[in-house]
Amino acid sequence: MTSDYRALFTDLRSDQVIDALPISEVAFEDYIGKAGTLNGTLNAPDQLTADRIRTATVPGRTALWLERDRVIWWAGIIWTTTVRSANRATPAKAEIQAGTFDTYLDHRLLTDDLTATDEDQFTIARRLIDYAQDKTGGNIGIRLGSGASGVTRTRRYSRYDLPKIRELLDKLAGVNNGFEWRIRCYRDQAGNRRKDLQLGHPHITTSGSAETVLDYPGAVISYSFPYDATTKATHWRSRGATTGTGTNARPLVSTPYYIIGATDAGWPRLDGTSDYTTITTKAALDAHARGDLTAAWTRRAVPELAVNLDAARLTPSILGATIRLRIADVWATGFAERYRVIGLRIRAPERGQGETAELLLDDTEPADSGDDTDNV
pLDDT band at 277; cut points 50, 70, 90: confident
**pLDDT at site 353:** 67
pLDDT band at 351; cut points 50, 70, 90: low
Query: What percentage of the chain exceeds 70 in pLDDT?
Result: 94
Is the pLDDT at 283 greater than 80? The verdict is yes
The residue ranges of every structural domain in the chain are 5-103, 108-200, 212-227+301-363, 235-299
- pLDDT tens digits along 124-176: 999 999 999 999 999 999 999 999 999 999 999 999 999 999 999 999 998 87
Is the pLDDT at 209 greater than 80? The verdict is no
**pLDDT at site 138:** 97
DSSP 363-375: ESSPPPGGGTEEE
CA distances from 67 to 140, 185, 193 (A): 20, 11, 12
User: Structure pTM?
Assistant: 0.82
DSSP state of 109: B
Average pLDDT, integer, range 25-31: 94
SS3 129: helix
At 365, give phi and psi (nearest 5°). -135, 80
Average pLDDT, integer, range 4-11: 93
Output the average pLDDT for the chain: 91
Would strands 71-84 and 92-100 be described as parallel, antiparallel, or unpaired?
antiparallel
Give CA–CA dist 28/68, Å, rounded.
12
pLDDT band at 268; cut points 50, 70, 90: very high
- pLDDT tens digits along 38-73: 999 999 999 999 999 999 999 999 999 999 888 999
Average pLDDT, integer, range 334-360: 86
DSSP 220-286: EEEEE-----TT--SEEEEEEEEES-GGG-EEEEPPPEEETTTTTTTPPP-EEEEE-TT---HHHHH
What fold is seen in the domain 108-200?
Phage tail protein beta-alpha-beta fold (3.55.50)
Q: Which residues contact 154 (CB under 8 A, 6 or more apart)?
A: 116, 117, 118, 119, 281, 283, 284
